[in-house]
Structure 1
Amino acid sequence: MTKVLHIVASPRGDASQSTKLAEAYLNAATEADPSLSVDTLELWKEDLPEFDGDKAAAKMTFFGVGDMGATQQTAWDQVVEIASRFTDADVYVISVPMWNGGIPYKLKQYIDIITQPGLLFGFDPEAGYSGLLEGKKAVVFYTSGVWAPGADKRYGSDFHSEYLGWWLDFVGVKDIRKLRFQPSLLTADPEGDQKAAVKNAIDLARDIA
Structure 2
Amino acid sequence: MNRLLHISASPRSEASVTLTLARSFLDGVAAANPDVEIETWDLWDGTLPAFGPAAAASKMTVIAGRTPTGDEAAAWEAALAAFDRFERADTYLFSVPMWNMTVPYILKQFIDVVSQPGRLFTFDPEAGYTGLLSGKRAAVITTSAVWGPGRGPEFGANHLHDYFQGWLEWAGISEVSTFGFHPNMATADAEAALKQALVDVGEFSARFAATRQPQLT
TM-score (norm 2): 0.91
The C-alpha deviation readout for 1:48-97, integer Å capped at 9, x for no partner, is 22212111111112332765224322221111101101011111101110
Identify unmatched segments of 5+ residues in structure 1. Answer: none
Structure 2 equivalent of residue 185 of structure 1: 185
The C-alpha deviation readout for 1:15-47, integer Å capped at 9, x for no partner, is 111111111011011011101110100111133
Structure 2 equivalent of residue 14 of structure 1: 14
Evaluate the alpha carbon distance shift between residue 54 and residue 96 of structure 1 in structure 2; reply closer, same or farther with a 3 A threshold: same
Whether contact under 8 Å (2:183, 2:193) holds in the other structure is no
TM-score (norm 1): 0.94
After TM superposition, the structure 1 = structure 2 runs for residues 1-209 of structure 1, keeping only pairs within 5 Å, are 2-64=2-64, 68-208=68-208, 209=210
Cα distance in structure 2, aligned partners of 1:179 and 1:113: 25
Cα distance in structure 2, aligned partners of 1:24 and 1:105: 25
Cα distance in structure 1, aligned partners of 2:62 and 2:69: 13
Whether contact under 8 Å (1:57, 1:66) holds in the other structure is no
Cα distance in structure 2, aligned partners of 1:53 and 1:112: 12
Cα distance in structure 2, aligned partners of 1:183 and 1:91: 28
One-letter code of the match for 2:166? W
Cα distance in structure 2, aligned partners of 1:101 and 1:13: 21
Whether contact under 8 Å (1:32, 1:206) holds in the other structure is yes
Whether contact under 8 Å (1:121, 1:171) holds in the other structure is yes
Is the partner of 2:38 in helix, strand or coil?
A: strand
One-letter code of the match for 1:196? Q
Cα distance in structure 2, aligned partners of 1:15 and 1:162: 27
The structural deviation recorded for 1:158 is: 0.8
Cα distance in structure 1, aligned partners of 2:46 and 2:67: 30
Whether contact under 8 Å (2:148, 2:184) holds in the other structure is no
Whether contact under 8 Å (1:122, 1:131) holds in the other structure is yes
The C-alpha deviation readout for 1:122-166, integer Å capped at 9, x for no partner, is 100001111100111110001000111232111101111121111
The structural deviation recorded for 1:106 is: 1.0
